[in-house]
Amino acid sequence: MAEPSRNAKKSAKKPAARPRPRADKSDGECTVLEAIAKMPDHDRALAERLHAIVKATASTLVPRLWYGMPAYSRDGKIICFFQSAQKFKTRYATLGFMHEANLDEDFMWPTAFALKELTTKEESRIAALVTKAVS
């Protein structure tokens, strides 16, 4: 039996490539809605409501999956995302904003928010944050 080549040995030792965050560009909305539909009830309710708020507030943002999480981008760059509590086994879901979001205030500002429930008050605050983020 022939000895495997040196290149074959090297490639066998290489770790699998990490999946790219831009998994599916064909129909981001469907992909995001499918991911949301697979979430546990509480996370799904939060994600569905957040999705509706983002779409109503910033229709220019494009829904897409980002590391398996619902996210919203402009010019290919993530502006905000939803992280379910179940995905990272935490006690609350998270609404996060990336550095592309225009949330700057002085020298310090929040970029992530814990979500346990969405009342009218929180929905208004999220709408204002998303509006500012895309300004």
Please write the tens of the pLDDT for every residue from 57-112.
Answer: 999 999 999 999 999 999 999 999 999 999 999 999 999 999 999 999 999 999 99
How buried is 97 (Cβ within 10 angstroms: 0-12 exposed, 13-18 middle, 19+ buried)?
buried
| Boundaries of domain holding 50 | 41-133
- Does residue 2 sit within a domain? no
Quote the pTM value: 0.79
The CATH number given to whatever domain includes residue 62 is 3.90.1150.200
Nearest to 42 by CA among 96, 85, 106: 85
Q: How far apart are CA 70 and CA 35, in angstroms?
A: 7
- Does residue 8 sit within a domain? no
Which residues on adjacent β-strands are paired with residue 73? Answer: 62, 78
What is the residue-wise DSSP string for 49-86? HHHHHHHHH-TTSEEEEETTEEEEEETTEEEEEEE-TT
Question: Is the pLDDT score of 22 beyond 80?
Answer: no
pLDDT at position 119, please? 97
- Does residue 28 sit within a domain? no
- Does residue 4 sit within a domain? no
Token pair of 44 as six digits: 């799904």
- Does residue 113 sit within a domain? yes
What is the residue-wise DSSP string for 23-57? ---TTHHHHHHHHHHTS-HHHHHHHHHHHHHHHHH
- Does residue 81 sit within a domain? yes
Domain total of the chain:
1
- Does residue 55 sit within a domain? yes
Residue 109 Cα to chain centre, angstroms = 20
- Does residue 16 sit within a domain? no
